[in-house]
Homo-oligomer: A and B are copies of this chain.
Amino acid sequence: MSEANNKKVLGFGEVMLRLIPPNNKKIIQSNSFEAIYGGGEANVIASLSCFGHKTKFATKLPDNSLGDKVIRDLKGFDIDTSSVVRGEGRLGIYFSEIGHGYRSTEVIYDRKYSAISMANKEEFDIKCMLKDVSLVHMSGITPALSKELYNLVIDIAKYCKENSILVSLDSNYRAKLWSLEEAKGFLEKVLPYVDIAFLGKLDMTNILKYEDNDLDFEDSLKELYKELFKNYPNIKYAACTKRSVHSINNNSLKGYIFDGNDMQISSEYTFDILDRVGGGDAFTAGILHGVINNMDSKKTVEFGVCASALKHSIRGDINLVDEESVISLIDKGLQNIKR
């Protein structure tokens, strides 16, 4: 499953502006916001860029300075932005009050009516978008934004299947955007075209309504993956993580990948958190890096989890670490100073 010569990995999805009161303050006591531009699919693509892959990103952005800023940030990662559509409308925003100790992080969404969520399917030229692309990564958030995007995601997946382009899909269920039933409908439509599926246990039991067996977590997950692969024999890999929350700023993470036969399990890593956003996307990018480079599953899942562990030490949505740093963590563990 090697990356075709010089072909690109494309991400498609929404990019939003995240506004954060500084120093763990609450909105009510703050007179400024830190501003970060990101989104699940873009985070994955930018991380793959840092790992050395050729990348491309497609989305719709408003025709103003906020859109320009997103373009500039993407280009800084050497991401091809030639398929980004510009036009009327607003950039989706969300505010996040970063929690501490026992205080939860609270998110206020202001993403409705964004330019991409109000776009017509026809504004995107699938053929052009996928030229020179060997793998497409999308998530279950985009189809939840509008009927047009729902259909577009399906169309892209189909086009990929017909043109031997790999499809990676992250379920990423958001209850604020649609119901479990709607998500189920979508997954059942798209999974026949998917090669790499980022689905966790709850995705399979709560959305796909697979029967929850009585086994412990890992055995149960493996059984569920088996059923998934039986239903969708096209899937080549399924992967997910399990997170244990010790405090808002200290979590543990373990990764799982299933290849149809075996499930490989990573070591568990416990770490302090500088910025939690994008932790899952870093895992996804790590897994895709392993899959593209034909690493074995054991190494792939370890790479994914270590990539995610490192992301939690980086401010902002995007995992700025390179391949070497991840491998160094896998091989040598924690190092104090690199002079």
Binding site for B on A (CB under 8 A): 19, 22-36, 64-66, 68-69, 72-73, 75-78, 90-91, 93, 95, 97, 99-110, 112-113, 174-176, 243, 245, 247-249, 251, 269, 271-274, 276, 306, 309-310, 312-316, 320-321, 325, 328-329, 334-339
Contact = CB atoms under 8 A, between A and B. Distances in A.
Copies of this polypeptide in the complex = 6
Q: Which DSSP category, helix, strand, loop or mixed, fits chain A's interface?
A: mixed
Given A101-B273, A102-B329, 12 more contacts: A19-B19, A24-B313, A28-B72, A29-B320, A90-B110, A101-B271, A101-B310, A102-B334, A103-B310, A112-B113, A175-B339, A245-B334
Nearest to A320: B26
B28 A339 contact: no
A112 B271 CA distance: 36
Contacts of A69: 27-28
Contacts of A273: 101
Given A27-B66, A72-B76, A245 B104 contact: no
Contact of A108 (B24, B66, B315): B66
Contact of A339 (B109, B243, B249): B109
B36 A31 contact: yes
A75 B71 CA distance: 11
A267 to B, nearest CB: 12
A36 to B, nearest CB: 7
Given A66-B95, A249-B272, A104 B338 contact: yes
Contact of A105 (B91, B110, B337): B337
Contacts of A320: 26, 28-29
A97 B310 CA distance: 14
Contacts of A112: 90, 113
Contacts of A93: 93, 110
Contacts of A276: 336-337
A31 B32 contact: no
B334 A28 contact: no
A306 B101 CA distance: 12
Contacts of A68: 27-28
Contacts of A34: 31-32
A316 B32 contact: no
A54 B266 CA distance: 46
Contact of A101 (B25, B35, B274): B274
Given A75-B76, A248-B336, A102 B27 contact: no
11 contacts: A19-B19, A24-B274, A31-B35, A65-B97, A65-B108, A100-B314, A102-B312, A102-B334, A103-B310, A105-B336, A107-B338
A339 to B, nearest CB: 5
Nearest to A273: B101
A32 B34 CA distance: 4
